[in-house]
Amino acid sequence: MKLSVPDYVWALDPYEPGKPMEEVEREYGIKDPVKLASNENPLGPSPRAAEAIKRAIGNLNRYPDGGGFELLNAIAKKLDVRPENILLGNGSDEIIGMLAHTMLGEGDEAILPDPSFLMYDIVVKSVGAKPVYVPLKNHGISLGGFKEKITEKTRMIFINNPNNPTGTIVSKGEFEEFLNAVPEDVVIVIDEAYIEFVRDKSCLNGLDFLDIDRPIVILRTFSKIYGLAGLRIGYGIMPEAVTEMLNRIRMPFNASSLAQVGALAALDDDAFFKKTIKLVHEELDYLYGELDEMGVTYFPTQTNFFLIDVKRDANAFFEEMLQQGIIVRSMVSYGFPEYIRVNMGTHEENMKFIEALKKVF
C-alpha cells in the first residue's frame, strides 16, 4: 500500500507502555502478577468515583457534556481559579497534543528535558517541529541548560515537575530566575502529573504563576492520585487566551460522560486522597530501608515511583523479575540501560517485590 505521509511521521517511534497484567498472565502463565510498572494507584479507584460511575451507567446512550460544565467548575473551585482557565482532556496527553498542533509548526523548536516523559518528544515531532534536548543534571532538570538552548525558533518549553522517570523537582526559586530569561511569547508547559506526592516544600507549583501575563500551561491528571487511569481524564490550567485557541481544535466530547462523573466524585473524596498519600510515603520509606539493607543503589523521589540501579542490563533484569511475577519498568528506552523504575504498591505487593528482587540479584 502506498501512503503519502510526512517523513517526520515515518520517523516516529511509537510510545511503549508498561506491560499489562493480562499479557504477563498469557505469556508467562503467572496468576495474579504484581504490577509496579506504570505509576498507577495500588488502592484502585476512588470509591466515590466508582459509585458515581455505577449510577451513571444508565445514561451511556447520551453524549457527554461537551463543555464539561460541572467538572470545570468543581476543579476551578478546588484550585481557586476561573473555569475559563481550565481545559479537559482525554488524559493530559491529549492536551499536550493540542498544544503542539496549535502552537508549533514545521521548523519550530521545543525544548525538553532528556530523559523525561516520552510523549513530549513524540508529539513535537508529529507536527514537524524539532525537539531540542537538554540532558538532566544529577537526574534533575537543568533550567540553566534550557537557557542556553533558547533561540529565535523556540516556541515551547516542557518542564516535567516532578520529572518522570527520575522523581526530581524544580524549585520555585529556580523557576522564577529561569522565567526572566524566557521570551514572553514562548509557551511554558509545566506537567504536574505527580505534584500531589511531593514532600519537598520548595517545589515549584505552576498555579503560583497563573496570574502573570505569560503563556504558562499547567497539566494535571486524575490518573495517579485519584486512581482513574483507565478513564483517561486530565486537565490543563492556563490563561483564557490559550484555552480559547485549544478549544478551536479540541475534538467534541473528548472527555467521556463516565470520566467526567468519576472525576467529579473523586475531587470530593478527601479520605481516599489522604489514604493514597499516606500509603505512598510510608511504602517509599519501607522500600528505602529494605534496599539500604541490601546495599542496592536507588534514587529518592518526590513521586510515587523511583529508580533503582541494578548494575546490569535492565531489559534482562525486567525479564527475570517477570519470571518472579513482578512487573517493573526497564529504563533502557529512557537512556538508562541499567536502571529499572518501580512504583509503589500495597505493602503486601512491595514485600513480594523485595522477595523477588533478592532472588534476582
Q: Which three cell numbers stand for residue 346?
A: 500495597
DSSP class per residue in 26-67:
HHH--SS-EE-SS---TT-S-HHHHHHHHHHGGGTTSPP-TT
CATH 3.40.640.10 segments of the chain: 47-267
Q: What CA–CA distances, in Å, run from 155 to 37, 84, 301?
A: 33, 23, 30
How many alpha carbons fall within 13 Å on the CB side of residue 234? 24
What's residue 14's pLDDT? 73
Give the distance between the most distant pair of CA atoms in the chain: 58
Q: What CA–CA distances, in Å, run from 247 to 106, 240, 251?
A: 22, 10, 8
User: Which of these CATH numbers, 3.40.50.300, 3.40.50.10190, 3.40.190.80, 3.40.640.10, describes 47-267?
Assistant: 3.40.640.10
What's residue 7's pLDDT? 74
How many percent of the chain have pLDDT more than 70?
95
Residues 315-360 have pLDDT tens digits of 999 999 999 999 999 999 899 999 999 999 999 999 999 999 999 9
Q: What amino acid occupies position 285?
A: D
What's residue 21's pLDDT? 66
Residue 323 phi, psi (nearest 5): -60, -25
What's residue 221's pLDDT? 98
User: What is the CATH code for 18-45+271-360?
Assistant: 3.90.1150.10
CATH 3.90.1150.10 segments of the chain: 18-45+271-360
Q: What amino acid occupies position 32?
A: D
What's residue 197's pLDDT? 98
Asked whether 111 and 156 are in contact (CB, 8 A), the reply is: yes
Asked whether 153 and 107 are in contact (CB, 8 A), the reply is: yes
Q: What CA–CA distances, in Å, run from 337 to 18, 44, 224?
A: 16, 31, 26
DSSP class per residue in 231-288:
G--EEEE--HHHHHHHHTTPPTT-S-HHHHHHHHHHHT-HHHHHHHHHHHHHHHHHHH
For range 60-68, the mean pLDDT: 95
Distance CA(86)–CA(73), nearest Å, equals 9
Residue 223: name the closest of 245, 201, 191, 253 by CA.
191
What's residue 31's pLDDT? 77
Asked whether 49 and 265 are in contact (CB, 8 A), the reply is: yes
Q: Is the pTM of this model over 0.85?
A: yes
Per-residue confidence band for 298, with pLDDT thresholds at 50, 70 and 90: very high
